[in-house]
Chain A
Amino acid sequence: MTVTILKPGPLSSVQDAGRPGHGGIGLPAGGACDALALQLGNLLVGNDQGAAGIEISLGGLQLRFDRACSFALTGALADATLDGVPVGCWRRLHAQAGQVLAVGYAVLGARLLLCVAGGIEVPVVMGSRATALQSAIGGWQGRALAAGDVLPLGEARMLPVSEPAIRPPGRGDTLRVLPGPEWPLLERSAQHQLLHAPWRLTPDSNRMGAKLAGPPLTHGLGALPSHAVQPGVVQLPQAGQPILLLADAQVTGGYAKPLVVIQADLWRAAQFRPGESLHFAEVSAKDALAALQAQRDWLARLRRVLKLPQR
């Protein structure tokens, strides 16, 4: 059971839920930037929620299913075709052996997740199948996918021929944030600007982080002793243009951290394209926990509704 990559698009890589637990040696957890889309895609195709799929940045991937199998595209929305016939995102789809899936350019969001029944079964490295691009480990040969790559699939659960769908969560243009450790040290004008200016993603954004551009933000916060950071942390370098850390962010940093995106919105943070603008909105810690609980409850409800057969 394999799939063959015909065109990788700008950046496609094998990703799963990541390899947490190695921060102490400087290895980021990594994994799908939009971990929620990965979980939902896996749910649609009957996989365990941490099974590996293909993260497709901005679209453009084409692949051939070498055997009949079920699959789902979640995350960003894009026009996609199966042997030239349009297919929808966020639903279980079924391919025959030899059929070609072509994913167009993302029309809403930045990263699609392709989950295939059985999961992409590349070797597990340090507890995960995720591609860590910087350290060149995991995934397919530790690198982004290229035309001609033949990826092994795991054993799929028997699935009904139905095509259940999930209504995609709306990304919006706002990320909910909590004040970070250096928030109180910022002048009021800088605080106001962080929360009220639109922040545009620059082209040098990647899986490590989104570099944001906006009106120059002057502040007096200098470098700090190196400390742990994690996805969702908004760093503020001296030049005043924030960096929103994503899944592959390095484990330690030295910039001020005025804001931290709440856990429930980490998937949203991964779905902005260069050129798009986002806003930060402050919430309370209580709201952050409630949002996370609501998201997990929603996942649990979907799991029940889809009534996946046991292995």
Chain B
Amino acid sequence: MTDEELHPGIQLLGEAALVFSVAPGLQAQQRLWAACRWLQQRHADVEWVLGMGNLTARFDPLVIKATRLERALETAWAASADAVPAPGKQVEIPVRYTGADLAHVAEHAGLTVAEVIALHTSPDYTVFCLGFLPGFAYLGGLDERIACPRRAEPRLKVPAGAIGIAGSQTGIYPLASPGGWQLIGRTSLSLFDAAAATPALLAPGDTVRFVEVTR
């Protein structure tokens, strides 16, 4: 199989999925949100899934030709250059900063625990996309000074609501799950509720701010 006929940024992922990739970054991601909305409105029989700097189409290859979706992706990307970003929600996440790895993150950063908390609570984080677990948001905006590599040994069970740092990412575990992130705190907020009208609390384009609480 060759994909020579495809746009350089478009690759087949099997016969039933197509991935459109651009250089990751906030501006590119804002365009991908717009492109994704545009495509969802026009191709409702395709599932569109955002990644970090990429957008995947999942489709029935006996119903839709990949080349048609390739053209749709190119058109959507071009149109996204002029799209006005849809305003996202602003969500405050109350956090008890008592995570088991908080001291390690502080030591790694050469900072005090209080300084780590101050740096973690100061930015407005942007939800780039969801994935990994239902309701899990990939957040952009972590202060590089508190970036920290993953744990060498992942934990078998990280509780729901745990807030962690992995590399230069921070995130919230919506469900109990195995995981290798450095845990710095925990929230009581529910990030995923299958019974809710909108099951995921966060959506791409939302802004998140962590707020320290003591109980």
Give the interface of A toward B (CB within 8 A): 20-27, 125-126, 132, 134-138, 178-181, 225-230, 232-233, 250-252, 257, 260-263, 284-285, 288-289, 292-293, 296
* Leading 4 A-B pairs by shortest Cβ distance: A252-B131, A260-B14, A228-B56, A227-B51
Q: What's the Cα separation between A233 and B56 when bound, in Å?
A: 13
Tell me which of B72-80, B85-93, B108-116, B133-141 binds A.
B133-141
Q: Enumerate B157-215 residues with CB–CB distance to A below 8 Å.
A: 175, 177, 192, 194-195, 199-200, 203
Task: Decide yes or no: A135 and B134 within 8 Å by CB, A125-B194, A260-B14 being known contacts.
Answer: yes
A26 to B133, CA, bound (A): 5
| A251 contacts B49, C-beta separation under 8 Å | yes
Partner of A263, one of B1, B15, B19, B54: B15
State the Cβ distance, B23 to closest chain A Cβ, in Å. 9
Query: How many contacts A-B (CB < 8 Å)?
Result: 133
Cβ contact within 8 Å between B134 and A262? no
Docked complex Cα distance between A262 and B13 (Å)? 10
- Give the residues in chain A near B51, CB-CB below 8 Å: 225-228, 252
Given A25-B199, A26-B134, do A228 and B15 touch, yes or no (CB 8 Å)? no
B10-31 contacts to A, CB under 8 A, are 11-17, 19, 21, 24
A285 in contact with B1 given A227-B52, A230-B58 (CB within 8 Å):
yes
The answer on a CB contact under 8 Å between B15 and A135 is: no
Complex contacts, B14 vs chain A, CB 8 Å: 178, 180, 230, 232-233, 260-263, 288
Q: Could you tell me if A296 and B19 are in contact, using CB atoms closer than 8 angstroms?
A: no
**Bound state CA distance, A285 and B49, in angstroms?**
22
Interface residue range, chain B: 35 or more
Q: A25-B199, A181-B13 are in contact. List 10 more A-B contacts (CB 8 A).
A: A20-B58, A22-B199, A24-B48, A27-B199, A138-B194, A225-B52, A226-B138, A227-B51, A232-B14, A260-B13
Q: Contacts A135-B175, A285-B12, A292-B62 known; A26 to B194 CB distance under 8 Å? A: no
B54 and A134: CB pair below 8 A? no
Docked complex Cα distance between A179 and B19 (Å)? 14
Q: Which of A178, A250, A288, A296 contacts B132 (CB 8 A)?
A: A250
Residues of A near B50 (CB, < 8 A) are: 24, 228
A20, A132, A289: the one contacting B15 at CB < 8 Å is A289
Q: Does B61 sit at the interface, judged by CB under 8 A?
A: yes
User: B53 near A225 (CB under 8 angstroms)?
Assistant: yes
A-side contacts of B13, CB under 8 Å: 180-181, 228-230, 233, 257, 260
Q: Is B107 an interface residue (CB 8 A)?
A: no
Residues of A near B131 (CB, < 8 A) are: 26, 226, 228, 250-252
Of all chain A residues, the one with the shortest Cβ separation from B15 is: A288
**Taking the nearest CB of chain A, how far is it from the CB of B164, in angstroms?**
15
| Residues in chain A near residue B56, CB distance under 8 A | 227-228
Give every chain A residue within 8 A of B192 (Cβ-Cβ).
25, 135
Looking across the interface, which residue of chain A has its beta carbon closest to that of B24? A225
Query: With A227-B19, A227-B56 given, is the CB distance from A25 to B135 under 8 Å?
Result: yes
